[in-house]
Amino acid sequence: MVNMRRWMRGGAVLAIVAGLMPVGLAHAQDTTDTRLRKVEAEVKALQRQVFPGGDPALFPGAVPASATAANGTPATTAMTDVLTRMDAIEAQNARLTAQVEELANRLRQLEAKAAPAPAPVAATPVPAPEPVKLVPETRPAVATPKPVAITPTKPAATTPAKPAAAPPAGRVAAVKAIIKPQTADTAEDEYTYGFKLWEAKFYPEAEQQLKLYLDKYPTHKSASRARNLLGRAYLDEGKPREAAPWFLQNYQANKKGERAADSLLYLADAMIQLKDTNRACIALGEFADGYPNEAGGRLRGAYSDIRAKVQCN
C-alpha cells in the first residue's frame, strides 16, 4: 500500500507538471484525466478484492459528479480539477489503508484466538533421591581363637610335714633343770633365763625365750644384749640368714648400745657365711673405725678370727 501511494503521488506530480506546461495543455489534460481514471479504477478494484461485497457508500461505482465534468467542457480549470480528484483519491487511499491495517489487526487477533493454547509443559517429576544405603564397614575377619584345652594336672603329691620330733626325755629334763631366776626385776629375770638357755646350747629354747622378753620389754635396759644374743643363737645354730636381721637391727637401733659393737662384728661373720664378701668387708670396716677400743680390747680375739675368714681390700 505504501508503494501504491508513492506511485500515486508520483503520478500526481507528473500531472501537475504537465498542467503547468504552456504547450499542449488540452492534450495533457486529456492524458492526465485518463490516467487518473485508470488509477481510480485500480484502487476500486483493489477495494473490492480486499472487501468483496462492501458497502456502496464506501466504495461508489464512479467518481462523484463534483469530481468530473462533461468531456470537453470542464466546469473548472484543468488544474483545479486535477487537484480535486487527487484529494479524493488520497482520501480514499487513506481510508483504505486504515481499513487494511484494522483488518490485519483483526486477523491477527482471530488467529491468536484460533491458535490452540500451548499445552502446559508437564513438569518432569524429579525422582526422589534413593535412600543412602549404609554399607557396614568391612573388617578383616578375625579368626576366633580355639579354646585351649587345659588338661588338669594333678597336684604334686606333697609329703606332709613331719611334726617336730619331741625332744628326748633327757633334753626336756635338762631344760627343766635350768631354773628361771625369781627376783624383784621380772624383766631382767626373763633375759637372764634366755641367756642361761643359750649358754647351755639349748638354742631353739633360747631363741623362743629371748623373743618373749623383747615382745614384753622392748625398751628394757638389757634389750640391746637380748637382740645381740638372739642373733648369736641363730648363728650358733647354723642359721646366718635368720641371724643377720637381728644383728643389723640392734646396731641401727642404738649405735651406742651395750652390744651394738658386738652386733656389727657378728653381722660381718653372718655375711661371710652367706658368701657376701662385699657386705662383710663393709661391716668390718665400720667396726674398726667406729669401735677401735672394742677392736683392740674386749672383742680383739673375735675380731681377729672373723677378719681372717675374708680378704678385704
Question: What is the per-residue pLDDT for 14?
Answer: 39
Nearest Cα to 194, choosing from 172, 170, 214, 174?
214
**116 occurs within a structural domain:** no
Q: Are residues 184 and 295 in the same domain?
A: yes
Range of the domain at 96: 2-108
Q: Residues of 121-160 as b/e, b for ≥16 C-beta within 10 angstroms?
A: eeeeeeeeeeeeeeeeeeeeeeeeeeeeeeeeeeeeeeee
Q: Are residues 285 and 205 in the same domain?
A: yes
256-289 tens-digit pLDDT? 999 999 999 999 999 999 999 999 999 999 999 9
Place of cell 652390744: 259
The number of distinct structural domains making up the chain is: 2
Q: What is the pTM of this model?
A: 0.47
Write down which residue in 92, 108, 124 finishes a domain: 108
CATH number of the domain bearing residue 183: 1.25.40.10
**165 occurs within a structural domain:** no
Reported confidence tier of residue 115, pLDDT bands at 50, 70, 90: low
Q: Are residues 218 and 97 in the same domain?
A: no
